[in-house]
Structure 1
């Protein structure tokens, strides 16, 4: 197999003989034709537009029935309040109740350990939306109801991600076509056709909320200031790889 290397086309690879395409006979170039593999990448930083807050209610007590009733009551009020806010999506998660010994003692041989059983329960709620003022005010109200913030972060919405990818794809395709045209001109070809195109879009990073332990609350807390959040930037990259037929 003979190869032609053009310094100005570092990303392109060429093949001129049928042996290079033995595994794909449908792509064999005819006499005087050249197959060219070429790629181009584009990247962009997009401001995050989706705010997500994770809050939890945690309770401790000796009676599991009372404990669960408290959690159920607070969570119902929290969900009702969240659903009343326009443009905010609400979901609940992680409801669990379990017994534990708050003062475990070392076990002595021949002595039956005395267990002091207590109960601990928790349930979480996630609110998200593109209206930060409304969401942050709601989060502050939920905190005043006894819920504790477990995570507050901005991310890029699927809609914004798709819009950015479409723009990157158009730019990367234009780059690929320009590289193929340039290669064809350097090789004395008069016609360039993209016969195969693939797009590889890397997923933007979505930060996971940092979960922290909520202190047990015995009732409604005093109303305080709402939390604050500022959006960051998410980087999106996209690569287009194409096979061009130069004639």
Structure 2
């Protein structure tokens, strides 16, 4: 029973966020009526070119996570991480997918000094690939970015003051209404939310520094479910991409 909703929620929502709503190309509140409040998030201006802004900053780390609990137990989780140092042309991308049966995918790529090192699996089961190439941190298996492209995407949110996140001042935007854009597209209407909240933090330069949504609900069979999503952008201008601990094994296998 616990695995019933998992494939639908995790797989479809990952595609939804990565495509229609992900990578800064989507309207997360499509089909919903924007608020008329003077405190709506639509008043904010987001940076037009995220990549250009981060290149100018020099470095960053971003993390994208989605988790799913069923009947009080972890049923699945997907995590993507991306650390980039533009000044020293170093980057690291990681992807980890886990379900009730354990970790199904554990992949990492590291680039430094004109060489891309890739790890598939972990520990004694790990295999490696090594290839030379140009520094192209944008060429990853998943774009680890926020779902928001412009301030218009935040029209359904309300500004809730300022705070400090990762050492910078950010404005907090919130909404707690029923997320029909998730429910209808990912669960075929067979999921009823009992609690939900969505938070977005935007810095003074218009970069989305943090985004999270999640809550509890009940599926068509009455099983309690919890779905959570988060995206974070940290270390802007201060990220250092270190050598991964598996690098010597990759170099040895390739004869370097």
The alignment's TM-score, normalised by the length of structure 1, stands at 0.24
The alignment's TM-score, normalised by the length of structure 2, stands at 0.23
